Amino acid sequence: MFLGGTIGNFIDRVRFGYVVDFISFRLFNKFEFPVFNIADISIVVGTFIILILVLFDRYEI
């Protein structure tokens, strides 16, 4: 997921010179989140998965 999101943002950066962000929403009409895209979601979720795998690794080397 991490690499897929990174490659997706890289392709946008090469094709357009910028990353196309299209998801925007507000929380209770007060707090507006930064605009993001699906590649950004994949990077964040992939990073959390890697973090969990590293932190809870129970195997000895």
Place of tokens 């997706």: 8
Taking a C-beta distance cutoff of 8 angstroms, is the pair 37, 21 a contact? Answer: yes
Residue 57 appears among annotated catalytic residues: no
Residue 48, token pair as written in the block: 């959390």
Catalytic residue, chosen from 6, 40, 44, 46, is 40
Q: Of 21, 36, 44, 46, which residue is the catalytic one? A: 21
Among the listed residues 52, 53, 19, the one whose alpha carbon sits nearest the alpha carbon of residue 38: 19
- 40 has catalytic annotation: yes
Active site residue ranges = 21, 40
